[in-house]
Amino acid sequence: MTKLHVNKDLNGFIAILFCVLICSCTTTTSDKNSDSLKLWYNAPAADWNEALPIGNGRLGAMVYGIPDQENIQLNEGTLWAGGPHRNDNSETKEILGEIRQLLFEGKYKEAHTLANAKIISKTSHGMNYETVGNLRLNFEGHDSFSNYHRELDLEKAVNRMSYTVDGVQYQREVFTSFTDQVIVIRLTASEKGKISFSAGMDRPKPSVVQVSTEGNNILTMTGRGADLKSKRTPKDAKPIEGKVKFESRLKIVPQGGSLTSTDNTLILNGADSATLFLAINTNFKNYKDVSADEHQHAAKSLLNLEKKTYEQLKTNHANYYNKFFNRVKLNLGTTDSINKPTDIRIKEFSKGNDPALAALYYQFGRYLLICSSQPGGQPGNLQGIWCNQLTPPWKSAYTVNINTEMNYWPAESTNLSEMHEPLIEMVKELAVAGKQTAEDMYGADGWVTHHNTDLWRICGPVDGATWGMWPTGGLWLSQHLWDKFMFNGDTEYLKEVYPAMKGATEFCLSFLTPEPENNWLIMSPSTSPENRPAHHPKNVNIAYGATMDNQLVFDMLTKTASASRILGVDDALIKEIEATIPQLAPNQIGQYGQIQEWIHDWDDPEDKHRHISHLYGMHPSNQFSPFRTPELAEAVRNVLVYRGDPSTGWSMNWKINQWARLLDGNHAYKMMTDQIKLVGRPDSPKGGGTYTNMLDAHPPFQIDGNFGFTSGLTEMLLQSHDGAIHFIPALPDVWKNGSVSGLRARGAFDIELMEWAEGKLVKVIIKSNLGGNCRIRSYSQLKLEGDNPLKKSEGENENPFYSTPNIKDAIISSKAKLQGFSIPDTFLYDVETNMGQRYVLVGE
């Protein structure tokens, strides 16, 4: 055993700092709980679904807050199984015509079997996102504690806990530094010499844990991602070799006490305080290159900290985080519930009015997006960046038939545009990787990806025809390229992403094929994601001309044509698009007054499936509108009523967005009460909802529900997709008074402030970053500050960001009796704005 002695002589500054820390430790619980932007609890986490998430976009950790045996579960965004590879099935090209003919002849079962044999990948069904492992801190004798408190501070992105043992108060602070790219842990006590613990690391898969030969205050853990063979690949298929190597390096810097070590443990005794630094790095460079030096990067990360104090590290971390988080402030009011622990508030939310919890849930979603998706890193996956397994549910991969897209619905509207960048970069990479997939599998132009991808940007279909036979994943992902432009208006950005948009459109144009009954151009073979018709002749998912595909193709073509015109390129492509759009399949309203999910009227009003793919045209797209297409809006509402409110977590949050687009704030709020219900404990109800730590329960945990909630609440307060900026379009009765600042609207308008009282707008401050006509929609009359009347809107909005959205005409079933959607009267105003100017509107 080696031993390191630490000087106990503290200078005056450190002594003063120590006193300050002690004072902070003794802050009363009531003071701590007064902050509305904290998740807090009076007991340690009982399991992973009660631990609290921290992250910096690359590093993630779940902190349990256990006094005697702390567990901090670790992730690094590029630690995945496998290595660079492709998973295309080249046999597809030779049977594409055959499978289409089978579908057109109604031989769905035969088509399903053929798709499994000749289209679904035979080499890889995607790799797993993996945990790094655990950092374990053992404090002997701390199992008998009192005065316990733990919290997640959303304003500082810091996890804290405090408790008392034998009259001594202990405090821990943990954060994942955005600026220094390490996990930082600070341990303090109200008396000197009371910090004693041992530190070790472990991983579910064998790894090497040892005290570094470079110094006995450093503990290392090294390993690599798994070799992985998918269960659905042939028996003789080789596993994809695990090429991602990682190194975790823990350094303990104590004040006072003695630091010793065994072969695989660090032991600190009798210190006044201690700061722990944990660096985790991999050899990943990009999806084709794993040649980085993980050891060098981890060692350098710790070396760079040597001249920085703990307070400097925490301040730099908070300052970086705050420049994003503080952009949006939301006040929906408070009640006495704010003084209760967060788990109790979640449990009681549906029983009373706790508007501050809805606001906290909203801001928690923004916190999670900042912490799981940073520029230069990977996009958030199915669990963001937090995963405690080697074989997580659904591989914790990128499921792009809704879940990945939902992760980024709040990015632009809630003023976190920078967090959108990792997804944009992934789409650009998929456009490169998917070009070979389109050619090799379908003999098609452009690029394609299916319903799932991973770190290695696989583009072939996985998981069997029931899920994977869906060739329009690239089309949905590409909507984000255009949506980002709609918020920033940056033509230089549009030039960067236009090739990916063009490639997705080229795939559509070469893959579309006429169906036999109406000669409409449709996508085939495909599915309506993960659902099958109850009355399908063969009870399989495979289909052609699914409504969602028709809507996605329509959006892809129209948006690419708009981008081409803006950039002044590809006239021939524009002409081809214009010739194709009239031939696309329309939306259809079926016998139950519903948007048909399939090209045939197979819908069943008893179908409670979680996916509502055919409502993409309402949200996140803007093809349907209560104002422009009231019959289609009513048909959307009918689907939502048939499907019902209870569902998986992410599905309920998508429905919040749908009801907001239908201008029904009270039903959207009702969906919020279904989502904010406590699940995961023995006495909890089953189904979707919210875990104790406020993470969304599918179940199990999926982060998309958190982001869907934040998006949905934003849609209730502000919409800008339908030719105007609509203020409080779906305000529920329970939020009669409130304010929000910092939201963004399309056309590069910042809503710097919006206040309402008794359900009516009081004041709005708009900043125009591009200039142009700002069309405003409101349920109440408005005027410019200083009693200046507003100009009533007339005709088409001349601002190109607010031109009336296009739609493919719908076929209304003769059996459906639709009256059109009933909407309240609104006022429409125009304000001609100048770049950089602010405009103040007040209610009359």
SS3 29: helix
**Confidence (pLDDT) at 15:** 34
What per-residue string of b and e applies to 425-442 under the rule 16 or more CB within 10 Å gives b? bbbebbbbbbbebbbbbb
**Among the listed residues 776, 713, 678, the one whose alpha carbon sits nearest the alpha carbon of residue 331:** 713
Judge contact between 712 and 729, C-beta under 8 A: no
Domains of the chain, CATH where assigned: 2-79+131-325 (2.70.98.50), 99-120+420-585 (1.50.10.10)
For 578, phi then psi, to 5°, come to -65, -30
Provide the CA 268 distance to its chain's centre, in angstroms: 39
Tell me how far apart the alpha carbons of residues 229 and 85 are, in angstroms, rounded to a whole number. 12
Instruction: Judge contact between 437 and 89, C-beta under 8 A.
Output: no
**Gap between the Cα atoms of 811 and 204, Å rounded:** 56
Residue 185 · residue 161 · CB < 8 Å? no
**3-class DSSP string for 629-648:** CHHHHHHHHHHHHHHCCCCC
**Strands 588-589 vs 811-812: parallel, antiparallel or unpaired:** parallel
Token readout for 90 is 């080249």
Angle, alpha carbons 96-101-104 (nearest 5°): 130
Cβ contacts of 318 within 8 Å, gap of 6 or more: 156, 157, 158
- What letter does residue 692 receive in the DSSP assignment? T
Structure tokens given for 173: 């602070």
Q: Which stretches in the chain have pLDDT values below 50? A: 1-34
State how far the Cα of 525 lies from the Cα of 100, in Å rounded to an integer.
6
The predicted structure's pLDDT at residue 23: 36
- Containing H/E element for 728? none
Exposed (0-12), middle (13-18) or buried (19+): which is 809, by Cβ within 10 Å?
exposed
As a whole number of angstroms, the distance between CA 831 and CA 172 comes to 52
Cα R_g (the chain), whole angstroms: 28
> Alpha-carbon distance 205 to 130, whole Å?
10
Please tell me the distance from the alpha carbon of residue 793 to that of residue 679, in angstroms, as a whole number.
48
Tokens of 223: 């390993």
Q: Tokens 């190194």 belong to which residue?
A: 247
Angle at 354 (CA atoms; ends 146, 656), nearest 5 degrees: 120
Instruction: Give the Å distances, CA to CA, from 835 to 299, 774, 785.
Output: 47, 12, 19
CB-CB contact of 423 with 408 (8 Å): yes
CA distance 731 to 668: 9
Residue 123 is which amino acid? Answer: T
How distant is the alpha carbon of residue 55 from its chain centre? 14
Check the CA dihedral 261-262-263-266 and report its sign. Answer: negative
Say what the pLDDT of residue 29 is. Answer: 34
Alpha-carbon distance 278 to 183, whole Å? 5
- Omega of the bond leading into 699 within 30 degrees of 0 (cis): yes
**344 by DSSP, 3-state: which?**
helix
Maximal C-alpha separation, the chain: 88
Measured between alpha carbons, how far is 417 from 396 in angstroms, rounded to an integer?
Answer: 24
Residue 575 to residue 553: CA distance in whole angstroms: 16
The angle that helices 473-488 and 421-437 make with each other, rounded to 10 degrees, is: 140
Q: Is the peptide bond before 204 cis (omega within 30 degrees of 0)?
A: no
pLDDT for residue 536? 66
* CB 792, CB 829: distance < 8 Å: yes
Residue 538's pLDDT is 65
- Whether the Cβ atoms of residue 544 and residue 471 lie closer than 8 Å to each other: no
Q: Decide: helix, strand or coil at residue 607.
A: coil
Tell how strand 760-768 and strand 838-843 pair up: antiparallel
- Collect all residues with Cβ–Cβ distance below 8 Å to 242 and sequence separation of at least 6: 81, 82, 83, 224, 225, 226, 227, 228
Other CB atoms within a 10 A radius of the CB of residue 763 amount to: 16
**End-to-end Cα separation, the chain, in angstroms:** 78
pLDDT reported for residue 769: 97
